Amino acid sequence: MDKNKIFSSFQKLGKVLMAPVLLLPISGILVGIGSAFTNASLIKVAPFLDNSFFSLLFQLMKEAGNVVNNNISIIFAICIAYGYAKSEKATAALSGFLGYMTMNTVMGSFLIARGIIDTSNLITGQKSILGVVTLDTGVFGGIIIGIVVSYLHNKYYKIQLPPVLGIFNGTRFIPAITIIVASFVGIGLSFIFPPIQNALQLSSEFINSTGVFGAFVYGFSERILLPFGLHHFIYLPFFFTSLGGVMEIGGQTVEGAVNIYNAILNTPGSMFDINISRYVMNGKVLFAMFGLTGAALAIYKTAHKDNRKKVASLMIAAVIPCALMGITEPLEYSFLFVAPILFGVHALLSGIAYILTYIVSFNVAGPSAFGGPLLSWIFNGILNADKGSNWYWLLILGPIYFIIYYYVFKFTIIKFNLKTPGREAEENKDEKVNKNSTDNLIPMIVEAVGGKENILKVEACFTRLRLTLEDTEIVKPNEYFKNELSANGIVKVSEGVQIIYGNKASVYKTEMREFLGIE
C-alpha cells in the first residue's frame, strides 16, 4: 500500500470515529449537571434541592445523558459500519447493530454454558448489554464489529446468488452473513478476552505492592486502557475489594478504597490516608481540572483560523463535564483516534499526576461518585481540611499542569503535524470570494473531475470536498480549481481528490449529491 493510500485510510478512520465522539459532549454535560445537583454534600448546603421536583429533574438528565455513555460501544459499531460502507449505508448501519448484539449474545451464551459467567453473580468485566449478559469488551468490541461488518458489506452488497438462494441477493445478504460471522467473532472473543481480563486483575496486586511507582502504574494503566474499555479492571478491584485496603474505622472493619474513604468522611476524628486516596483517583482531580483543559486550549490554538469557532464549541462542550465532573471521555475521544500519540502522552502525564498527588498527600477523591473533581475538591477537600486533605496543593500543581499539558500538546501537534480537530485544512489560505453561484459552480466542479460517470462517492470534512473517482488521471490541473472554481487548493490522493473550500465544503457536498442524484 503506497503512502497516499495509507494517508487516505487514516483520514477516513479519523472521520468515521469522530461521529460517535461528537455525541459525547452533550451526554457528558447532562450527566455532569444531573450528578452535581444530586450530590449529597451539595444538598446539605442547598437543602431546597432535596425535593421531588428537582430530584426527578436531575435524575432524568442523568438518565438521558447515559443513553449515549452506556451504549457507546454499540454506537461505535453502527457508525463504523455506516461510515465505511461504499453504498447502501442504511443496511450497513442495521447490520452493525445486528452484528454487535449477535457477537455479545453468542459470547455470553457460550460462556454461561461453560460456567465462566454466573448470571446471578456477575463479576468485574461481565455485564448486561441491552438485556444480554456477556463479557464487557467495551469500545474495542464495537470497533471490531464495525470493521468486520463494513468489510462484509462492501464485499457482498451486490452479490448474485444461485436462484434457490435468490431471496438473499444484494443487500439482503449483508444482515445474514453478518449474523453468521459475528457469531464466530463472539466465540473467538470468549477465548481471547477472559485471559486478558485475568492478566489485568493480577496486575492489580502488583500495583498495590509498589508504593509511589504503583501510583504511577495505576494512573497510567487506567487511562491507557480506556479506549479498549478495559480500564475498569484497574480501578474497580481497588474501589470495592480488599485490594484497596482494609481499615478499622469507628469500631468497624471496612474494605475497599471507596468504602474506606466514605467511612473516613463520616467518622469524626478519622484522618485521610494517601494509600487509600490514590485509589479513589486523587490524580484525576489534577489532570481533569487543569491538564486536559490545557490540552483543549492547545487543540484550539493549533486549529486553522477558519475552523477555530467550530473547534471552540467542541472544546468548551467537552471541557465542562471534564473539569467539573471528571467525565473526561468527550475531550479524550476528540483526539484519541485522530492522533493516538497524544493519548499516549496524556496517559503518561496522567500517571505522573498520581505520583505528584501521592508525594504531597493530596487526599481528594476524583471520580464522579464523589461529585467529580470540582465538588470533591470543595466538599471533601476544603471543607474537610482538618482530616488532612491538603486541598491547597491543587492551587499549586494545577496551574503548572495546565501549562505542561498546553505546551506539550501544542509542541506535539505541530511537530508531528497531527490532524486534531480543525487542522485538516492547515494549509488553507484565507477563503476566496466565490464569484460563481452555487448552481453554476457544482456542474463546473463535476466537469473538472471528469464528469458524473467518473464520480463514485461524495463526502466532506470541515473544509474539504472529498470526491472518490473512477479515474484520477482525467482531473483538470490544480491551477484550474484555484483560478476558475474559487478553490483554496486541491489535494490528489490515490482514490480521488480533496478540493479545499473552507466552511462551504459541507454545503457543496449536499448540493453535489443532489445534482448527481446519489445517496
* Residue-wise pLDDT tens digits, 285-341: 999 999 999 999 999 999 998 889 889 988 998 898 898 888 888 899 889 878 899
Domain check: are 196 and 219 in the same one?
no
Torsion, Cα 108 114 119 122, to 10 degrees, reads -90
| Final residue of a structural domain among 167, 202, 237 | 202
The pLDDT of 227-232, averaged and rounded, is 73
28 and 112 assigned to the same domain: yes
Give the CA diameter of the chain: 83
56-103 tens-digit pLDDT: 998 898 888 888 878 888 998 999 999 888 888 899 999 999 999 999
Per-residue DSSP letter, 278: G
The predicted pLDDT at position 2 comes to 53
Work out the mean pLDDT of the chain and round it to a whole number: 85
* Residue 420 located in a structural domain: no
Distance, in Å, from the CA atom of 153 to the CA atom of 170, rounded to the nearest integer, reads 10
Domain membership flag for residue 431? no
Q: Evaluate if residue 230 carries a pLDDT over 90.
A: no
Q: Identify whether the C-beta of residue 96 lies closer than 8 Å to the C-beta of residue 62.
A: no
pLDDT band at 384 (very low <50, low <70, confident <90, very high): confident
Same-domain status, 9 and 30: yes
Q: What is the pTM of this model?
A: 0.63
Same domain, 392 and 455: no
Is the pLDDT at 433 greater than 50, yes or no? no
For residue 15, the model assigns a pLDDT of 65
Instruction: Say if residue 10 is in the same domain as residue 77.
Output: yes
Task: Assign residue 229 a region (left: φ > 0; alpha: ψ between -120 and 50; beta: otherwise).
Answer: left
- Answer for the pair 235, 216: CB distance below 8 angstroms, yes or no: no
Claim to verify: residue 147 and residue 293 sit in the same structural domain: no
- Catalytic residue of the set 30, 311, 461, 499: 461
- Average pLDDT of the segment spanning 376-390: 90
DSSP alpha helices (H): ranges in 241-383?
Answer: 257-266, 274-277, 282-286, 292-302, 308-325, 329-336, 340-359, 372-376
**For 268-279, what is the mean pLDDT?**
90
Whether 227 and 193 map to the same domain: the answer is: no
Looking at the structure, do residues 88 and 149 belong to the same domain, yes or no?
Answer: yes
Backbone angles phi, psi at 134, to 5 degrees: -160, -175
Distance, in Å, from the CA atom of 323 to the CA atom of 412, rounded to the nearest integer, reads: 23
- Percent of the chain whose predicted confidence (pLDDT) is above 90: 40
Q: Is the predicted pLDDT of residue 482 greater than 90, yes or no?
A: no
| Together in a domain, 473 and 496 | yes
* 425 assigned to some structural domain: no
Q: Are residues 223 and 197 in the same domain?
A: no
Q: Which of 5, 179, 220 is nearest to 97 (CA)?
A: 179
Determine the 3-state secondary structure of 498 from DSSP. strand
- Within 10 Å of residue 250's Cβ, how many Cβ atoms? 12
Is pLDDT at 113 greater than 90 in this prediction? yes
Q: Residues 27, 58: one domain?
A: yes
Residues 258 and 331 in one domain: yes
Which domain, by its residues, includes 491? 438-516
| CATH code for position 475 | 3.30.1360.60
**Count of domains for the chain:** 3
79 classed as catalytic: no
